[in-house]
Amino acid sequence: MQIIYVGPSDGVELEGVAGVVDRGVAVDVPADLAGRAPVARLAVAMNELYAATAALDHPLCASLRLEIIELDPGVGLLAQDVWQVAPAVKASKKDEVTS
């Protein structure tokens, strides 16, 4: 699976996979290491919980906590906000082999 590091550092080391991965460069990693990203609702619910906590809205906080517990947080590198799935690259006409 192709993923891209988009974090704040110039690069990170992936031991045993690709050595140092530069920011913005796609790297091929096993699917189990890449994992899956969290569901989009998780970030929204976390922000709502932060606002509800600041507003001292205890019933809403309790409701949001119960919802957050049930949401998929993702796994692997893609569960971290510094990794993204690399966009698919389409082959151009001049890349095709003609016979």
Q: Flag the least confident range among 7-11, 19-23, 24-28, 89-93.
A: 89-93
CA 68 – CA 50 distance, rounded (Å): 12
91 versus 40: the higher-pLDDT residue is 40
pLDDT band at 96 (very low <50, low <70, confident <90, very high): low
pLDDT at residue 78 is higher than 60: yes
Q: What are phi and psi of 41, to 5 degrees?
A: -65, -25
68 versus 93: the higher-pLDDT residue is 68
Average pLDDT over residues 43-54: 97
For residues 40 and 14, the answer to whether their CB atoms sit within 8 Å is no
pLDDT at residue 91 is higher than 70: no
